[in-house]
Structures are given as structure tokens and as C-alpha cells.
Structure 1
């Protein structure tokens, strides 16, 4: 006796869609058949079309009834409730074929009228949901309809760009953690931590628990970034990536037409001059004030006092400015040293065009020439402050003096530049708190690295994801370029809409948002270099269409917003219409997995881990608070 439950026969074929005339009106959700519990022919369930030795697998799309004895639609001769009057017709869509014990998606076999349709057996379901015997897999959950284990191929899934999307409370945080938890528990865990690195950008502090990602405390670093309190971890960054004109322009919110050119020139000068072995900052910037004093009215009159005020800002010993504060400006563009008997009336002037003719005694009296006694003249005091400053403070000092140099001779407009410096002051203060600059970062990051930004201010929240993403991506490119991939990096961004929002695609008329360019390059080119991106978001419609179109595998939880659903419909060619229509009705922890790693879209229930080993994203129970 056959062990297949016969349901009906193909009565119409229209491409991949076929109609099945059912033998009976059975509408049981599940059927017990020879000891197995099989899923009934309901929407989303699999059915098997038997064509000789080939089994064509199809999923149920729609079902309806036909009144065979009332074809003229007459109410007078309405026999719909007579015996054998109603026939059930189920519409199905071909998913793939089971041949030689394997399931594959192919168009080599199509249903034909007269082919018999049966319930898909447990053995057939195992073949559909299974991966080839020699393929390494992880278990992610169980199928919703058939309760079959759902496996993901490690190679096909994790060597790709992944999107996890769903409304708040749908279970996407748990899914994101579950994916990598199962990977880190696999038989490859030792080599994973040796050959790969994982960087998790956590905007809400959900993944910082010590037991998350299977503990692995010796393989995990958590960077708690706090710009609001006194205690914070520091992110290790190379000077090359922090002092990049494009990155700093975004951090300082520089205007493209008036402020970005100044920043580019100043940062280029900073890199070129400060890298010299014998660089003396005090002597370097003192050259500007000497030039102001000897170029007369060609320099803006206020620039002298601006230079002095800026120098006072960075020098602790204010006495070094006692003599230079006594300079008096004369209408012919000259300056006079007053209040001292050291110079006669005639000798007290510093005249136009005399930069090389000014006596050494005048420069020494004004303390603009180093006398070899540390911190008792302006150049020495400035240089001493420079030497003991961090790289970020050095940049701040350098930018201030570059501003004065540009304003003094009208190269830049102070009305355009001054607003920028209030933002520079604030931004660099935040950077100083959370960034540590190093020559190399290869030994400072572990296999798992979590960047917790829940306590970071907005400018740092914008900067850090872009900065570390570009830094690690470029590092991976440099390692792999021209060679085979022997190690990988995986960037995981939770709440990705925070930084990949298309509303901020461009700033001004021609200024391309650098942040978007970085991530679009990663998702377009990263795969060939062994750099993989995983995005999680509750608003996929807010993410750049370019980025969405390059995602290879999707895990979709419940979404109800029409814009989000439309975005997914346009970017997921592997999702059929009936599966797409189920997205708004998915329950908590339920999802559809589709993409290159899956032969067919799979409805799966992803279990929660124990309370200690899952993200901090559980719903708040108000009654527990109010007890």
C-alpha cells in the first residue's frame, strides 16, 4: 500500500501556477497518515506533484470552491448544498523538484494536466529543508507549518550580506544574536576566532551582556562609549583614518562651499608639516605673527590681536605675552614698541617689509624668538604645550593658527569660518574623550568587538560607525588585495536606519554624503575581499535602495508599514507573492528566511535563548514595575 495521501489531480497549468481539483472537501489543518502528522493543504503548505519518478514540490497559494450543479448562477435552481455539488480547487505554485534524493530549484520539470497531487511526506520535507550532507550548517529554528528543523548553510549564509528586518518587538534582535551565537557554538568556533573578526555596532546597548554570544569573554571586547559621563572606553584608531578631511568635514558639519576647502587645506598642511622629524610648532606658528608685523596694512589689523588671543588660549605661562601686549599700531602700517627704555624713539618701530631686517633684540624683547630657556618665550611655550598634547589637541591648535593665517591676508572670510570653530571645539572635545590614536591597531581588537553607543552624543554616533567601518574595510582590502581570502571580517549594524537613512544622502548641491559612500562601497565590493555586512532595522524603507539591492539573504519578521513592505517587494526576487502577503501577520519570533542561501522561502519560528543569554530587548512589564 502506498504511503502517500492522494489529494487530487492537476486540472489547469499556467506557467509555474497550477490548479488542483481536489478529490474531497477535506479541510483539516493537519492529518495523521501512517503515524506521521502531515500539514494539510492550507495556504503556504507544500504539496507534491507526482510525475513518474520525479516529485515536483509546490506551495499552496489560494483555494476556492466551484458549484458544479449551478453553473448558470441561477437562484431558482440553486443546488449548492446538494451532495457532490461543490468541488474544491487549490491553486499551487511550483517551488522545485526532488530528484535522486536531492531538492533543487529548476525549470526542467513542469506540472502537466492529469498529474496526481499528494500530501508532502515527512521524508520529502526533510529533503526540502535539509542541506547537502557534506555542507556545514547551523540550526536556526523550526518551520512554522511543518515543525521541521531549519538549517542554514554556514558558507552560503555568512559569506554574504544579510538583512534582518522587523517591527519593534517582532524578535529581530533575538534573531540577530541567535545567528552568530549558533555560528560561535559550531564545530568551527576555534578557527572562527583565529581567522575572523566580528564588529557589532550597538546603538541601544542590547548586546553588551557578558553571557551574550556564548560568553567567549577571552575572545570579546565591549567598548562602552560614553560622552556624557566621566567613565568611557576608548576606541583605537589610526591617525590616517581620524585625520581624514572627508571624515572631519562630516564630524564638524562643515559647509561644502565655504568651510570644506579650508579644512582640506588645513588638514593637508597638518599631515605634511607635523610629520617632519624636527618640526617645531612654536617657531612654525610664530612665523605668522612676524609676517603680520612686517606686512603693514596688507594684513587685516585685527589679525595681530587674534593671533595673540589664540596663543594665550594654549599657553599656561601668560607672562610671556607681557611685552607683545604693549605693541601699538600706527597708521602707516608700522608697529611701535612702547613703554621701555631699551629702544630709542627711532629704534622702537617695526616697519613694513622689514621681516629680515628686524633686529634680533626686538624679536627677543617681544619674546617671539626662542632664547633657549624653556617656557619663557612664546615659541618655546607653544612648543612645550604642543609636545605634551594628544594628537587630537594638536590638530585643534593647528587649525586655530591656520584660521588666523588665512584670515590675516583675506584668503578666507571670518564670517564663514568662525561658526565652524565652535563646532570644532565641541567635536574634538568629544573625540578626545573616546578616541585613542595608535600607529597600528592590529593587536587592539579581539575576535568579537561590540561598540556600545547608547550613551554617546549625536555627533559621535554619526562618526564612530563610519570611521570604524572604513578603517576595518580598508584594512581587509589591504590584506586580501591580489591574494586569496584567508581571513574575514564581519560588520554587524543593529538599527541600521540610524546611519543609512536615504533622507541624508546629500548635503548641499554637490557634496556627496561620505558616510553613504563608505557603506555603499562595502556592500558592492566587500564580498570579494572577505568583508561581509549584516544589517538589522525596523525601517528597511529608510535604508538606501543601493544597499538594500545588494543584500543576498533576508530574515523578515513582522512588518506592517506599507513603505517597508514595498521596499522588500522590490528588492527580494526570491520571495513569492503569497509569502510576501504573510509578513504583516507573522507572530513574535516568527520570520521568513529567503535569499541565495535558501532554495525556497521558509517560515521559521526562532526560539529565544535564556534570559541571561539574549539581548536586552525584552518588552517592559509595567505591572512588575508597579508592584
Structure 2
């Protein structure tokens, strides 16, 4: 008989934090009974306890069988497969408090015990309930909550990764709902970058949604990003596309001078004219800048009328009165029209280009096209933040920051589903940089990140943070990953392809929620980014259930295999797979339904499809004459 009902074996080999355990013969059935409860022995991902006086070491089973036996040079292969490989992860001292890391190592023949449910309660116990937030329950014990430390989760960065259909979006929704609980965290502040518009409906009770074309009946607000709040480099990428260094210098000087002119008309507290540069967030009219550049590039000159008619190289002056044939309109982005250039014939008939072009006609044309693009009006025509032609605005950036960060709800969702894919990378980077700079310089104020930390959640992060892809988003996220902790700005990356995310960024995530991942490259990326030596645990990722996650890192005392709390059907993100064949309560949530290919054919009206496509909205609004339609 065993000396203890929890005893399962003894330590036979120690190598750093990895130990080999020989199981006693009584465990051959794979079961151990303690206080009427049956415990499975040798489950990968389960825990063991090694008592050392007043201290108990805890380890995670990473390998089972003969392969877990210690390897000795020249020794024969082990005859028994009764071996465990265990990774040490933490210890519990005399005070009964669990801590990560170990202060001592076990020795040969030290006893190894199963971890009982009572031990798990001590390890995963709530501690100070304010410091921990529940995200689910242990997969092996429904009665024990899966708790994460909110301080470490927010400021030390995190990542939620999992393949499509693993429950990733629902997990994010559950985490954000828990962090937005007004009774526990009345001043929580979260900014969610929602690339596909999945979360607005699911989190409407705790969020304010900003969308380019808002649904006003849902209380949504228009998403506006004033171009003049961007840095000079950010603005160049979103307007001209690219410029040579010489041209950037000229444009930079022109923008800085216009911002100084705005300051002269509307002085700003705490700023002097001499300190204003092209990067200073002061309004100026980009429409007037485009107009002036167009004139500079296309303006024409004619020979001096006082010169003799037969002069070969006459002096040139501006076209009569310097006026174009058609004046154009800066506010409406209508270019002026000048006379056609004519370089032949007698001097009085010649017309040549103006005296001071900088040869950026192509770039000026690109800028004009973007100013006219209706999809970019949220950037270049941002309502009350649009400057008039002299640079005067109705509202300053304090009202913009208040809309993004200071509204009544703890969660602000920036719905980017209407943003053109060509500028998504740069736009995400620009918004992040605006927010980070504002909180960086306000770190000593009540609105700053140190007094009221901010969590930025980046959905579909692999689309704009991929390896080798340089862009504003990558640059800004790297800065936040390295410096954000000091200024109260944390981030949570959400991705189905962690292998595509820049390793510098992923390695800074202190906590990882790893859901089902079938791809070996993705698993390797997650395993390499984790702070614990837990390769055996991550080998379980392909077989995790939907909604199940392995949580490792700084926000948890020990790695947790947890079932994330489910949400009601109406609180789930709009990311579920379409129904092909469904009858009855297929999802087990109490909703009887039929759908997909099982319902009778209906009279379809593709004119409505065309209208929705052209208007770039997926929300249906009935218009008389549409004909029959199934609401849903």
C-alpha cells in the first residue's frame, strides 16, 4: 500500500527545471483515489506536488511514458514506461502563498504527489478579488474559477491566438465584458480596433461604437480621424503616398508655415510660434495646400510684353494677372485650369511653365484624388474638426480624445470595417500613435495612463503586424510593446495566425491565451513567445475544444487549461460560421432554428443585394418597392 493516497512516484533525475519521475507500481491503473475523488495519473498538462519541508514545489506534466525516462549515455533503454517528465513552475512557502519560480530543487527519491482539488483552490484561489478577474473555469474542475491578474493582463500586454472557429472572438468578448464590469472597475478604459465590425452588437451594453457610417438608432457615433492630428510622416503616407527627401523638405516647410499662420490667428496655450513644426498637432487646410501646390506646378508664364518681338530668349512674366483660364475651387478640390504650354512660334505667342515648380505633379494628382475619395472623407472632411481654408476649426483635439477615451462607457469600439484596406495599416498606426502620445505627455494628470491605464485591443493583428511588413501600425505597436507599460498603455493582440506576427511584438506579450491551433508553425511561434518552458503543454493545442484555452504568462500563477465563460447568443460577436445544414437546437443554446440549405427556397431579389453593395452597408433598411424579403 502507498504511504499516502496522493503519492504517485519519486524524483529520479533533475536537469534544471525539468525532472524525471518514476511512478510507483500502484498507479499502473492510471487512477488514484483521495477523499472519495478519482484522479487520473499521467495526464499531460496536469500538475504534481513535491513537498520539501515547509515548501512545496509544483510542476507541470509535459511528457508521459518511456520517453520521459532520464537519458544516460551508454545506458540501455528503460524497461518500464512508468515515467513522467515534469517542468517545475512554482512553489508554495510556509505562508501558504503560491509564487512563480523555485528557490530550491528536488533531489533523488523525493516524493511526488498528485495535486488535489484543494491544492488547486490554494493555487488558483481568488486572493484579493479586486486584483483578479474571472474569464472562465478550470477545464478539469468546473467549481474552480480561472482567474487572471488584471494588473499584469493590462499593462504587461497579452495575446489571444487560435485558429478560425476555436472561439477566439467569443473569448475576447468574455474578457472585455469582465474588464468592463462597472461594479468592480468603474473607471476601466479600453479601446478596441474592430477590423471586421464583429463586436458592436455583442458588447453594446458596455461600449460606445464609432463607425464611419454610424447607425444612429443604436447610439453609435461617427468615426473621424482629423488629418492634421497626424505626424508629418503619417500624413505623407496617407496623402501623397511617398516623396523624395527633397520634396518632403519643401512640403514640410509649407505645412509648418501654415500651422504657424493658424497659431497667429488662434493662439494655443502652452505653445510658442518658434516651437511649431510640421509634426505639431495644429489645424491647417490640406485643401488649400493642394490648391497652392497645383498652382505652383501648373501655372504658366508668357513673354514680357515690353520685350522686342524678335528676342530669342525673352524675359517671362506670369500669365495676364496670374489668373488661370478657370479659377478652380480649393474647398471642392476642383483644380484651376491654365493655358496650354506653347514653346514654338514668335515670343509673344509662347507660353511656358511657371518659374517655381518642384516637379511633383504625380503626387499632387494623388493628393487631389484622395481628397475627393468619398471613402476617405472621415479623414479629410472630419465634420467639426475640418479646418476652413484659413485653418480655423470648430472643435479641437480635446473633444476628439474625449470621444475616443472619455465617454461614459468603459469600452470604445473603433469599427474599421468601412476603412479601405489600402490605408488600414497606416490608419491603425496613426490612431495608436495619437492616443499613445496624448497619454505619454499626460502621464502625471488624472486623464493620463498612469492614473487611468488604457488597454488597446488589436483584432486581426496579423493583417497589419506581419513579419517584414514595415508600416505605421508595426512601428507604433513595437513602441507600445517596449515602452507602454511605464505609461499605463497596454495592448492585447488577437490573431488566428501568430506565426505571421512580428516576433519582436509577440515576444513582448506577457500573457497568452492559446486556443486550438492545428498549424505546427503557429504552435511553435506561441511556444517560443511564452515565458515558461512548456512545450509539452502546447503540444495539446490541436486537440483543445471550442472555447477552451491554455493561459500562460504573468497574469496567472500557474498555466491554466480553462474553459472560457460562454455568453448568450445575442452577446456573441458576429463571427460565427454560416449555417449550411441546421435543424433544431444545434448549438445547444436553447434556440430552435432551421437554416442554410434545409429551408424552402425563397423569392430572392438581387436588386437589394446590388443596393447594399453600392452603398457599402450590410445593415438592411426596407425601402418601398424592394419586394418580399426575409428579415433576419
The alignment's TM-score, normalised by the length of structure 1, stands at: 0.71
The answer to whether residue 415 in structure 2 is matched with residue 452 in structure 1 is: yes
The whole-number CA distance in structure 1 between the counterparts of 2:355 and 2:136 is 69
The whole-number CA distance in structure 2 between the counterparts of 1:248 and 1:422 is 14
Distance 1:470 1:293, change over 3 A: same
Counterparts of 1:174-253 in structure 2 under 5 Å?
174-185=170-181, 187-190=183-186, 192=187, 196-209=188-201, 212=203, 215-216=205-206, 220-226=207-213, 234-237=222-225, 240-242=228-230, 244-252=231-239
The whole-number CA distance in structure 1 between the counterparts of 2:110 and 2:340 is 105
Distance 1:295 1:533, change over 3 A: farther
Identify the range of structure 1 (23-32 vs 609-618) with the bigger mean alpha-carbon deviation: 23-32
Correspondence for 2:524: 566
Correspondence for 1:312: 328
The whole-number CA distance in structure 2 between the counterparts of 1:326 and 1:113 is 94
Q: Deviations over 1:238-275 (max 9, x none)?
A: 56414x43222221362242764554344334323455
Distance 1:112 1:432, change over 3 A: closer
Correspondence for 1:496: 461
| Secondary structure at the counterpart of residue 454 of structure 1 | coil
Q: Deviations over 1:21-74 (max 9, x none)?
A: 2222635566442123434332221112233333222222222259xxxxxxxx
- Name whichever structure is richer in helix by fraction: 1
Distance 1:315 1:600, change over 3 A: closer
Residue ranges of structure 2 left out of the alignment (5+ in a row):
68-77, 267-283, 305-312, 386-394, 582-594, 600-632
The answer to whether residue 513 in structure 2 is matched with residue 555 in structure 1 is: yes
Distance 1:426 1:238, change over 3 A: closer
The whole-number CA distance in structure 2 between the counterparts of 1:36 and 1:306 is 94
Distance 1:516 1:60, change over 3 A: closer
The whole-number CA distance in structure 2 between the counterparts of 1:456 and 1:134 is 40
Find 1:485's aligned residue among 444, 450, 469.
450
Distance 1:562 1:245, change over 3 A: same
| Secondary structure at the counterpart of residue 540 of structure 2 | helix
| Secondary structure at the counterpart of residue 502 of structure 1 | coil
The whole-number CA distance in structure 1 between the counterparts of 2:322 and 2:545 is 65
Correspondence for 1:169: 165
Distance 1:598 1:498, change over 3 A: same
Displacement of 1:493? 1.2
Does the CA contact (< 8 Å) of 1:138 and 1:182 recur in 2? yes
Q: Deviations over 1:65-100 (max 9, x none)?
A: 59xxxxxxxxxxxxx9xxxx9572222222222222
Displacement of 1:428? 7.4
The answer to whether residue 354 in structure 2 is matched with residue 408 in structure 1 is: yes
Distance 1:527 1:21, change over 3 A: closer
Q: Deviations over 1:494-541 (max 9, x none)?
A: 111222223431xxxxxxx33322222222222211111111111222
Displacement of 1:201? 0.9
Distance 1:238 1:424, change over 3 A: closer
| Secondary structure at the counterpart of residue 559 of structure 1 | coil
The whole-number CA distance in structure 2 between the counterparts of 1:503 and 1:426 is 32
Counterparts of 1:277-292 in structure 2 under 5 Å?
277=265
The whole-number CA distance in structure 1 between the counterparts of 2:40 and 2:577 is 32
Distance 1:584 1:292, change over 3 A: same
Distance 1:23 1:225, change over 3 A: same
The whole-number CA distance in structure 2 between the counterparts of 1:63 and 1:326 is 83
Q: Deviations over 1:151-201 (max 9, x none)?
A: 1112222232111111111111111111121122264232x2xxx432111
The answer to whether residue 133 in structure 2 is matched with residue 138 in structure 1 is: yes
Correspondence for 1:526: 484
The whole-number CA distance in structure 1 between the counterparts of 2:103 and 2:23 is 26
Q: Deviations over 1:530-556 (max 9, x none)?
A: 111111111222222222222221111
The whole-number CA distance in structure 1 between the counterparts of 2:171 and 2:449 is 31
The whole-number CA distance in structure 2 between the counterparts of 1:573 and 1:550 is 10
Find 2:382's aligned residue among 435, 451, 462.
435
The whole-number CA distance in structure 1 between the counterparts of 2:297 and 2:23 is 95
Distance 1:15 1:326, change over 3 A: closer
Does the CA contact (< 8 Å) of 2:425 and 2:472 recur in 1? no
The alignment's TM-score, normalised by the length of structure 2, stands at: 0.71
Displacement of 1:423? 4.1
Does the CA contact (< 8 Å) of 1:44 and 1:578 recur in 2? yes
Distance 1:302 1:174, change over 3 A: farther
The whole-number CA distance in structure 1 between the counterparts of 2:114 and 2:171 is 31
Distance 1:54 1:504, change over 3 A: closer
Displacement of 1:133? 4.2
Distance 1:221 1:133, change over 3 A: closer
Q: Deviations over 1:125-149 (max 9, x none)?
A: 1122225346621111122234432
| Secondary structure at the counterpart of residue 312 of structure 1 | coil
Distance 1:452 1:19, change over 3 A: same
The whole-number CA distance in structure 2 between the counterparts of 1:594 and 1:431 is 43
The whole-number CA distance in structure 2 between the counterparts of 1:298 and 1:29 is 102
Distance 1:328 1:141, change over 3 A: closer
Does the CA contact (< 8 Å) of 1:252 and 1:424 recur in 2? yes
Displacement of 1:616? 1.4
The whole-number CA distance in structure 1 between the counterparts of 2:298 and 2:463 is 49
Between the two proteins, the alignment pairs up a number of residues equal to 517
| Secondary structure at the counterpart of residue 491 of structure 1 | strand
Distance 1:299 1:203, change over 3 A: farther
Find 2:120's aligned residue among 102, 125, 128.
125
Does the CA contact (< 8 Å) of 2:449 and 2:489 recur in 1? no
Does the CA contact (< 8 Å) of 1:31 and 1:37 recur in 2? yes
Counterparts of 1:17-96 in structure 2 under 5 Å?
17-24=18-25, 26=27, 31-64=32-65, 88-96=82-90
The whole-number CA distance in structure 2 between the counterparts of 1:224 and 1:484 is 25
Does the CA contact (< 8 Å) of 2:212 and 2:224 recur in 1? no
The answer to whether residue 100 in structure 2 is matched with residue 105 in structure 1 is: yes
